[in-house]
Structure 1
Amino acid sequence: MVYQFSPIKFDDMGHIRDSVFSILRNAILDKKLEPGQRLVERNIAEQLGISRTPVREAIHKLELERLVTHIPRKGVVVTGFTKADIVEILAIRTSLEALICSIAATKIRPRELERLESLAKQILDEHVKGNLKKSNQLNDKFHEIVYRAAESPRLYDFLNTLREYVTKFTQVAYSKPGRPEEVWVEHNEIIEALRNHDSSGADAAAKRHTENSSKAFLEMAFWEK
């Protein structure tokens, strides 16, 4: 069955392209759009109830991320992910997370540390309650605070590009039995290093956290079963 998009409304017309891009990318990540499936600009625009221009621009961004490709005489088709693609993204994320945590350690403020401590506890509590969506949302906020504490806009933008990928991966990794409890310990190790303004310690703690998350994801993902 061909996936159908629902019409969307925009309060801010300037954000149409980004919204369309996010919709298409999530559909690919969630496998609603499968590898080999054609993306017909006109059809997508009609389904979303918008003009073709933002769809064309969004598809171009998807090409830059290698999620779709243009095939002569066939058009734009979904590329999807290979295991190698996933491993590469996870490795990039590990390096960038470690770097931004090491920078944040030199700049983080007491109120940000207090917020991180509160979030770390809430993340575990919500998971124990079975509120997995809420737990993942709080996890995103935890990392967002660290990213912003570093006050490194370019590095923030690089990590933000990976955000939707990482969110999807985290949801899978959290399904591993015992992983939420491990995350609780790892988050607190990151907080402790940040509190001590220990750049090397923050780097190591963030690297350990992301490597463990990556391992859990690969163990739980469908292609490892």
Structure 2
Amino acid sequence: MKRPMDITYEYLKEKILNGTFLPSQKLNEIDLSKEIGVSRNTIKKVLLKLEKEHLVVTEDNKGATVKAYTLEEVINYFEIREVLEALIIDSAIKNITDHDILKLEEIYNKMESTLNEVKFVEYPTLNKQFHNIIYSLSSNKQAVEMVNMIKSQLQKYHLRTILIPGRNESSCHEHKAILSAIQNRDPSAAKIAIQTHIANIRKTIVSNYNLLM
């Protein structure tokens, strides 16, 4: 049975990441306590935890609000992620097996099928599975941890890129280039492919920032 802390944490984090709680929205402790059915002290502890993950901002005498990122901050985070993803995939290729490549191929084929069948809702989950296999194979666990933190912070922007016409198709082509480099066990090509992919996400967000807010 989950503890009240865990239930509250998962509930609030999901609401923030899926956009139910909007950037700069005030998070009232009393209202949340009643809504979730936990003590106000539990809400306080969870908000402090979310603040450490850069999802919430707390101020004395003002309470907590959902963290709002400026366009410059979003760009900076994606530029950092480009560097980290290159480090991750470089070490992952050194550890990859034929079985791992088969799993990536299977996921990629499903990604392609969702687009052909216009099942866009399923695409982000497959996308996440594809990258998670690469992360699991990397020996640079610190880089993986930092990337996951960045992805968590910017998830609400990233997920909404599926609404941009043509972005899913471009993403699929980018994943094919990543897969091809991995199949060839070519770290140089893999680093270029992954960095191109992340750079294109960044460019899509920059070009459509107002729509994605």
Structure 2 length as normaliser, TM-score? 0.84
Compare 138-147 and 84-93 and name the one that shifted more: 84-93
Uncovered stretches (5+) of structure 1, i.e. residues with no partner: 1-10
What is the Cα deviation at residue 200 of structure 1? Answer: 2.2
User: Which structure has greater helix proportion?
Assistant: 2
Which residue does the alignment assign to 2:125?
Answer: 137
Residues 1:221 and 2:209 are matched in the alignment = yes
Aligned pairs, how many? 213
Change beyond 3 A, Cα 1:106–1:18:
farther
Question: Which of 181, 185, 188 is the aligned partner of 2:169?
Answer: 181
For the aligned residues, what is the CA RMSD?
2.6
**What SS does structure 2 have at the residue aligned with 1:69?**
strand
What is the Cα deviation at residue 223 of structure 1? Answer: 5.1
Which residue does the alignment assign to 1:12?
Answer: 2
Change beyond 3 A, Cα 1:130–1:150:
same
The CA deviation string for residues 104-130 of structure 1, in whole angstroms up to 9 with x for no partner, is: 111111111111112112112112322
Residue identity matched to 2:13: R
Compare 155-164 and 110-119 and name the one that shifted more: 155-164
Structure 1 length as normaliser, TM-score? 0.80
Residue identity matched to 2:205: F
Distance 1:89 1:21 in 2: 24
Residue identity matched to 2:135: Y
Which residue does the alignment assign to 2:9?
Answer: 21
Change beyond 3 A, Cα 1:78–1:177:
closer
Distance 2:23 2:31 in 1: 18
Residue identity matched to 1:193: A
Which residue does the alignment assign to 1:126?
Answer: 114
Residue identity matched to 1:197: R
